[in-house]
Amino acid sequence: MRRFDELGLEVQITEMDVQIQNGTGTESERLQAQAEIYGEMLRVCQVEPNCNTLVMWGFTDAHSWIPSFTGNDDAPLIFDESYRPKPAYYELLEVLSR
């Protein structure tokens, strides 16, 4: 990110989702790891002046593109298939509240 800034380039993080299917640990541990990744990306974007956008691919696993593309169930977004917030949602709220 800083190298892009040195070059005078803006950064836009778009179409972000974080797959958990291939991770290690329990589902709960994978969801927590996912939350940490979402949170870290937002923190970096807040701190680096050349990052001006962070957009997720969607908001609910119910309409994720990943299962139809990979053939595997996954949970890459911040709300589950029943539209309940996941740990990643709460992590983003925490980062934004600082």
State residue 72's pLDDT score.
82
In the chain, what are the domain boundaries? 2-97
How much is the pLDDT for 70?
86
Distances (CA, A) of 25 to 30, 33, 70, 80, 93: 6, 10, 21, 19, 25
Look at residue 73 in the predicted model and tell me its pLDDT.
83
Model confidence pTM above 0.85: yes
pLDDT per residue rounded down to tens, the chain (98 residues) = 999 999 999 999 999 999 998 889 999 999 999 999 999 999 999 999 999 999 999 999 999 999 888 888 899 999 999 999 999 999 999 999 99
